[in-house]
């Protein structure tokens, strides 16, 4: 291979990297706008719940049991722990330690699944139904919508993990992993508000 060929390939790689970064910035903007639209969706339901609670003479309605705060606290620790493992996974990818990255990713996926398991157990034991009261409708709608986001996030992370195994990403080009990390932290933040609304307030 001649010096001219090496220089040409180097220039081509630099151009490809510059193009990737430009496209990645556009993708990042689009993904952030998607998360903002999701914030608007959750905010609409949250403000509707606050309005119904404020207007009700008794809350929760008579005969409706509150969800188990202790279970929710454990479930919250699991979900927030998954946010930490996702952070460690991303940091290990940036530093090129792919084995540790995959371990942290698997830990994140497992913790997300445990959170959904805890939520499923709660749904089968709470003394409330979606159709039986305004509290039940609000509780199951908001937590169910969040649980669906967690489920989608788990699928997203599994796809990303498989892509890393297939060599889709490298240390300089890994926008998909950035998007996955942002999404997972997003579901963590949303849960903070839901935990306060249904288990603390």
> Which domains, and CATH codes, for the chain?
3-200 (1.20.120.80)
Q: Of 66, 49, 70, nearest to 146 (Cα)?
A: 49
Better pLDDT: 162 or 5:
162
Q: Average pLDDT over the chain, rounded to whole?
A: 90
pLDDT digits (tens, 9 = 90+) for 92-114: 999 989 999 999 999 999 999 99
112 vs 14, more confident = 112
- What's the pLDDT score for residue 15? 58
pLDDT at 132: 85
């Amino acid at each position: 291979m001649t010096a001219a060929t090496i220089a040409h390939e180097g220039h081509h790689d630099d151009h490809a990297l510059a193009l990737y970064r430009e496209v990645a910035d556009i993708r990042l903007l689009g993904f952030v706008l998607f998360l903002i639209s999701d914030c608007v969706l959750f905010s609409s339901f949250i403000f509707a719940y606050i309005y119904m609670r404020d207007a009700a003479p008794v809350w929760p309605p008579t005969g409706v049991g509150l969800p188990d705060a202790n279970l929710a606290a454990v479930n919250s620790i699991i979900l927030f722990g998954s946010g930490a493992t996702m952070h460690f996974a991303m940091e290990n990818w940036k530093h090129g330690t792919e084995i540790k990255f995959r371990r942290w990713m698997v830990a994140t996926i497992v913790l997300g699944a445990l959170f959904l398991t805890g939520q499923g157990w709660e749904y089968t034991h709470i003394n409330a139904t979606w159709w039986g009261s305004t509290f039940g409708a609000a509780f199951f709608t908001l937590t169910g919508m969040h649980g669906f986001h967690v489920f989608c996030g788990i699928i997203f992370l599994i796809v990303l993990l498989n892509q890393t195994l297939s060599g889709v990403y490298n240390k300089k080009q890994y926008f998909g992993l950035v998007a996955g990390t942002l999404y997972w932290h997003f579901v963590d933040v949303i849960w903070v508000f839901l935990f306060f609304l249904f288990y603390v307030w």
